[in-house]
Amino acid sequence: MKIFLSVLILIALVSCKEEKDHYWSDVTFDNKISANPSFKKMDKEEFASSYNNENLKRTSDIKYSNEILDRASGFATNYSPVNYGCTAYFDDKSDKLVIDIGLHGPFGGSGFSLNYFNGKFFANPYKYSDIPLENETEPIYKVIVQKLTLDKSHFQVGDSIYGLVNFRIIEIKDKISIGHTAKGFFRTKIAKE
């Protein structure tokens, strides 16, 4: 009986830790996703780099919203018209493939990362600034839905990656709820970190 109780407590502790860290979802795979017309549309569009005036090819066609939630109306539907850049690299500490979709500048940035490992992933919204905040609390994320489709299951540095993401996540921080909604296609080449 004691062994059974010990095993049950151990399982409960492990389950709580996994849920606390992140909610991992299964990835679907579609080796024909790169033929989607959205990528041809991106080929025809360019955007100005935030660091210099050169024009770059679009790497994502994602509608992304992150707004404070009104309890009456639910998720925000005002999407940012910004062209979010997409980069990908392997995290040298964990072998996770990190797909970063966001804006980065000298004074801050915002967006989200898709963390992929062994056929599973989790989305992680972020926002940062060059102004440090004292006593900043860690946010809690509640996943409503998160779906990811990739063109293949195994990648290495130098590979091209094509995907489709769709998620709704609520971030709770300092008693404020922020709804993160994203949907659309992305592509990039996997670089060294």
Q: Report pLDDT digits (tens) over 9-49.
A: 333 333 333 334 568 999 999 999 999 999 999 888 776 55
* Residue 90 pLDDT class (50, 70, 90 cuts): very high
Q: Token pair for residue 66? A: 């992150």
CA 143 remoteness from chain centre: 12
* Residue 4 pLDDT class (50, 70, 90 cuts): very low
* Residue 98 pLDDT class (50, 70, 90 cuts): very high
CA distances in angstroms from 73 to 69, 70, 78, 179, listed in the order given: 8, 6, 12, 11
